[in-house]
Chain A
Amino acid sequence: MRKANLLDRRAVVSRLLANRKGAIAVGGLGASTYDIAAAGDNDRNLYLWGAMGGAVMIGLGLALAQPKLPVLVITGDGEMLMGMGSLATVGLQQPGNLSIVVLDNECYGETGGQTSHTAGTADLVGVATACGIADARAMTTMAEVEALAPSLQDVTAGPRFVSVKIDGANLERVLSNRDATFIVNRLRGSLGFQPI
């Protein structure tokens, strides 16, 4: 069931990160991590290559530790479905600096394009709203994404949840660094923390 005028995932992510300033970006495993890498490597990118279902919680831990910095979790619908309970945990904590963007292609692109629950009955924006994330929206146009980008810098107005309907096409992989100890220590270093 192909839909018309779906957004290009790389264009969405690249727009969200274009003027990121000091923002921290967490990429859920799979294509979201490649999208963040494609937008340009950065000391404050935390690329996940596993831990499926954990992206939002890693973002929450970061957001609570660094309340003055915007923390942006970019992940897919399959990864988000696996960690749906974490939206209830975020709803309870209300971190003003945490934004969650789900790139929703309604399928598991990494494993052969099997349809996900969002292609059928599941409504992630509805879940986020019901979990107490008041600013939860679905986006279908680049104009909305462009308006969202600067608002991510406001660290008092979150948590935010956005589901962007994207095209399901598999793009060429842009492989990020995958040595997690390096990635996490590089991020810590950029925040002023020394190795142990």
Chain B
Amino acid sequence: MHARADATSEQQAAENAAEHIASWPEEIFAVLERFDVRQVPYVPDAGHSQLIERVLGSPSMRGIALTTEEEGVALLAGAWAGGQRGVLLMQSSGVGNCINMLSLTQIFRFPFLTLVTMRGEWGEFNPWQVPMGSSTQAVLELSGIKVLRASHPEEVREVMEAAASQAYNACTPTALLLSQRLIGTKVFVK
């Protein structure tokens, strides 16, 4: 009985995990909807592709393609000045492009939230991703941004909710790093 119950709960846990693996971008999208996020600037990344598709198909959100990530920081400052919330989607290499513009998060004290898909860690194939990926968190923290991280599918919703709450309710500039372990290491084939 005891063993059977364990087997059932293990099976249940495995099923739950499989569900999260398929749906974590969907869970992020649901949190953004619930917080009434309207402007979603992005520089594309494979790790964000499912979320970007959802945003571009959403009637309430506006996906805004950028030429460089720092544009997104300034855009979100303007969106806030105009009464709308936003979130910036980028890859870890983009964080370096934002540094001076991140001043706006402190100087305007506006609810800045960015979701950063990580490269340069966890089995990375491309050495060119490693330097910026290694300094991403420190760069954000030196710029006054609080950093949260999700590495497993089943924790994404909870961490995302915490990130959105502290950003939008407390105007605490926040970055949520989505680990390469979560996204899956990019496979390069010849």
Contacts and interface: CB of A to CB of B under 8 A. Distances in A.
Interface stretch (B12-20, B77-85, B133-141, B181-189): B77-85
Contacts of A192: 83
A89 B64 contact: yes
Interface stretch (A5-13, A44-52, A106-114): A44-52
Contact of B74 (A24, A58, A63): A58
B39 A65 contact: yes
B101 A51 contact: yes
B66 A61 contact: no
Contact of A65 (B78, B111, B171): B78
Interface string B111-150: 1000000000000000000000000000000000000000
Interface stretch (A34-42, A156-164, A183-191): A183-191
Nearest to B68: A85
Contact of B71 (A89, A180, A187, A188): A89
B190 to A, nearest CB: 33
Contact of A86 (B38, B71, B82, B110): B71
A191 B70 contact: no
Contacts, number: 114
B62 A64 contact: yes
Interface string A137-161: 0000000000000000000000000
Contact of B104 (A54, A88, A89, A187): A54
Interface in B56-96: 62, 64-68, 70-84, 86
A17 interface: no
Given A64-B39, A180-B108, A58 B70 contact: no
Contact of A54 (B39, B86, B101): B101
Q: Please name the 8 residue pairs, one residue from A and one from B, whose CB atoms are nearest each other, closest first.
A: A61-B78, A65-B82, A85-B67, A54-B74, A57-B74, A58-B78, A61-B79, A65-B84
Interface of A: 24, 26, 46, 50-55, 57-66, 83, 85-86, 88-89, 92-93, 180-181, 184, 187-188, 191-193, 196
Given A51-B100, A60-B64, A65-B78, 6 more contacts: A52-B100, A61-B79, A85-B71, A88-B67, A89-B64, A184-B108
